[in-house]
Amino acid sequence: MPKPPEDSIDARLYNFPQLIEANHWAVDLETVKTNFQRYGLLDKQVQFVPGWFADTLPQVPIERIAVLRLDDDYYQSTMDILNNLYPRLMPGGYVIVDDWGLDQICGEKQAVIDYRNTHGIVDEIFEVDWQSVYWRKGLDSDV
Ligand SMILES: C[S@@+](CC[C@H](N)C(=O)[O-])C[C@H]1O[C@@H](n2cnc3c(N)ncnc32)[C@H](O)[C@@H]1O
């Protein structure tokens, strides 16, 4: 996880003892591949993009997205994803957002709200459970 600003809500999560103990979930690419393989999910369709979102997503070779799944926890990380990838989500495609119910310790929900407000996105948000929500990109979206 990137280090968030000290005075941000994300710093609460970043400073959790369990997260520090887990080295902020840092893991090498080989471990990620092995975990995909363990579940029979490692094939040529899977592309790994190592690096921070702000560095990788502007150039990532993805033209059209059907399902955009966010589980990055932090405000700026969520903005990096939405700014770069939401315009590539096809009308009728889905956004699934994790950590919606954890808005006291991380900024993912607030970033989604701010992005939607900035771009006038009014597609209805549906709850999956206490933690997650989703919406379907409107067929007439111009974002
Ligand atoms: C809660 S974990 C979830 C990972 C995965 N969805 C899972 O369930 O195993 C959050 C992940 O977001 C990644 N992340 C958050 N901000 C990032 C950023 N700015 N650039 C790259 N990765 C980021 C971290 O590396 C971390 O693995």
Listed by start position, the domains of the chain span 10-136
**Cα-to-chain-centroid distance, residue 98:** 8
Does ligand 1 have an atom closer than 6 angstroms to the CB of 72?
A: yes
CATH 3.50.50.60 fits 10-136, yes or no: no
CA of 70 to the centre of ligand 1 (A): 9
CA distance linking residue 8 with residue 142, whole number of Å: 31
For 101, list phi and psi in degrees, rounded to 5. -85, 5
127 is written with which tokens? 């709850």
> Which of 67, 77, 106, 109 has the most ligand 1 atoms within 8 A of CB, as the residue to mutate?
77
Its pTM stands at: 0.96
pLDDT score of 109: 98
**pLDDT tens readout for residues 7-52:** 999 999 999 999 999 999 999 999 999 999 999 999 999 999 999 9
pLDDT reading at 91 higher than 90: yes
Which residue is closest in CA terms to ligand 1's atom 11?
A: 72
pLDDT reading at 142 higher than 90: no
